[in-house]
Amino acid sequence: MSDAALLQVLDALADGALHSGQTLADQFSISRAALAKRVDHLRDWGVEIAAQAGAGYRLAAPLERLDVQRIRRAVGVDAARIEVLTSTDSTNTQLLDALAANDPQVLFAERQTAGRGRRGRDWVSPFGSNLYGSVSYSFAAWPPRITTLPLAMAVAVARAIEAAGLPEVGIKWPNDLHIEGRKLAGILMETRGEAGGLCRVVVGVGLNVGLSEVQAAAISQPWTSLAAALAARGRAAPSRNALAAALASELLAALRHFAEHGFAPFAAEWKRRDVLRDQPVRIEATMPLSGTARGVDADGGLIIDTAEGRQIVHAGDVSVRAT
């Protein structure tokens, strides 16, 4: 069954209203049984569709698909190559395999079948509920202290979220976006290149926009969505297309700024948004470590004051939880 056929049904249901099964079947010149198969395929994509006997189908919530032309116009046609896929394994994987000569590139997908987070974790990626996107960028040479780039990228994502109406968003080291102790977004940065030569980075972002409890059943840590956090504050959720454009614009601008100035222009905002600073924390690693977080050092390492003295923890080998 083609993606186009499934998207036809999804677009017909996108308003979130109840739609007669017979009317939908007639609209697409298919049988009710064929319509039911298409609905089942959409459910396999992670789309929540309720069926009411004798009444029809409806989405659990209205759905706005990403419009690549709208995103390109908002970002600026000369800023980067921008594409949107219906489904892919991972936007990071796709850009890692893309030609570096085409950088900077931005890729969004409505759905990922093998979305990845830090330390090899799966990233839950149902169709159309969130934002899954990656940006590839090539530096002419390895930037000094590139280990701080993930932190700068977290600041960029926080700026896009603040522009969407949530200035309270914080950063949990090294680059998770949190609100009230719940994860809102995560970043996976991967690099390619050789010492002394070109450095290519792919920055992947997963942002929970309208994730539901049902869709998030496999998530094992406290989480929230942008829509839920905004609703709790009496604020309206933004358009997914406007949010995608803002996210791409902030990441591209931050990468260009980092190439020229490093982490220094991001340091003050990072400190302001640091949700762990002066909090008791526990580092889970081969040798567990407990202490008080004291911000980050010049290389982006987490500073921990322990009973045995000050320790520096680097990204990629630990998980951090406030205690």
- Cα(55)–Cα(19) distance, rounded to whole angstroms? 7
Rounded CA Rg of the chain: 21
Fill in the amino acid letter for 27: Q
Residue positions annotated with a catalytic role: 118, 183, 321
- Cα(103)–Cα(118) distance, rounded to whole angstroms? 23
Which are the contacts of 77, defined by CB distance < 8 A and separation ≥ 6?
A: none
- Cα(116)–Cα(205) distance, rounded to whole angstroms? 10
Alpha carbons within 13 A on the beta-carbon side of 195:
0
- Cα(258)–Cα(223) distance, rounded to whole angstroms? 29
- Cα(128)–Cα(74) distance, rounded to whole angstroms? 20
Q: Cis bond leading into 222, ω under 30°?
A: no
Which are the contacts of 142, defined by CB distance < 8 A and separation ≥ 6?
A: 193, 195, 196, 199
Rounding to the nearest 10 degrees, give the CA dihedral for residues 9, 10, 12, 15.
Answer: 160
Write out the two tokens for 147: 């280990």
- Cα(296)–Cα(183) distance, rounded to whole angstroms? 20
Write out the two tokens for 295: 């911000």
- Cα(140)–Cα(258) distance, rounded to whole angstroms? 13
3-state secondary structure at position 137? strand
The structure tokens 């409505």 sit at 110
What is the chain's length? Answer: 323
Are the C-beta atoms of 182 and 172 separated by less than 8 Å? Answer: no
